[in-house]
């Protein structure tokens, strides 16, 4: 039981650092409430699950190739920069619209899914950290235990997403329009900074 708890805590600690998904989830929760924020996080964790499966079946060798890394960095940079600019340009419109009508919940799910799917940080995380955990655990555990520990990591990530949705929707009840604008501004800037970082990494790998 203690071993399972350690893997759940590992999932929590891996999901906790501030990144594009957390920024987008916080922004969504403060604009539209718990369900929109949680579904965005659920979409992101669905992409995580996909990458866990790919690492498990041994796709690491393909994605670790230099030109594939360049593509992942460049494409991820494009998605993050585009999303950040779009968010910044529509801050006032979104703040006003949030009070009248929220976007469809299914759109939040797919937004989180594609944001995580195209995020190089997510890809490299699963290749690096989960790949290492997988290799280490596989050496001393059965296949059933491996599935159980992987599920525990995933449970930790889901728990973090739920907490983020709950926290951001709670903030929403006590915030005014100006704070929503500030949150959207910080979210957009965070996405742009991560996008710029990935663009630099792509450039360095390429040249």
Half-sphere exposure of 53 (CA within 13 A, CB side): 6
Q: Do 41 and 161 touch, CB atoms closer than 8 A?
A: yes
Q: What is the phi/psi pair of residue 90, to 5°?
A: -115, 25
Tokens representing residue 190 in the block: 């965070």
Exposure class string for 22-34: b at 16+ Cβ within 10 A, else e: bbbbbbbbbbbbb
Q: Give yes or no for residue 106 having a pLDDT over 70.
A: yes
pLDDT digits (tens, 9 = 90+) for 35-67: 888 999 899 889 888 887 877 776 555 655 777
Q: Does 99 have pLDDT greater than 60?
A: no
Q: What is the mean pLDDT of residues 182-200?
A: 78
Q: Could you give the residue ranges of the DSSP H alpha helices within the chain?
A: 2-15, 20-32, 34-56, 60-63, 66-89, 91-98, 105-117, 120-125, 131-138, 143-173, 177-206
The tens digit of pLDDT for each residue in 78-96 reads: 877 887 787 777 665 555 5
Section 66-72 average pLDDT: 75
pLDDT per residue as tens digits for the range 127-174: 666 666 666 666 566 777 777 888 888 888 888 888 888 888 887 666
């Amino acid at each position: 039981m203690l071993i399972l708890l350690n893997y759940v805590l590992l999932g929590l600690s891996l999901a906790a650092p501030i990144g594009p998904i957390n920024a987008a989830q916080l922004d969504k929760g403060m604009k539209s409430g718990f369900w929109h924020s949680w579904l965005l996080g659920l979409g992101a964790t669905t992409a995580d699950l996909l990458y866990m499966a790919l690492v498990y079946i041994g796709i690491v060798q393909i994605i670790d190739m230099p030109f594939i890394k360049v593509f992942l960095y460049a494409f991820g940079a494009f998605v993050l920069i585009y999303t950040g600019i779009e968010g910044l340009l529509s801050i006032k419109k979104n703040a006003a619209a949030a009070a009248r009508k929220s976007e469809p919940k299914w759109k939040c799910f797919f937004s989180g899914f594609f944001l995580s799917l195209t995020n190089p940080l997510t890809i490299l995380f699963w290749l690096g950290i989960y790949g290492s955990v997988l290799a280490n655990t596989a050496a001393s555990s059965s296949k059933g235990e491996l599935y159980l520990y992987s599920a525990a990591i995933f449970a930790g990530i889901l728990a973090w997403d739920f907490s983020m949705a709950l926290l951001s929707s709670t903030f929403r009840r006590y915030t005014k329009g100006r704070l929503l604008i500030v949150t959207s501004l910080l979210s957009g800037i965070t996405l742009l900074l991560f996008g710029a970082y990935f663009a630099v990494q792509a450039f360095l790998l390429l040249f």
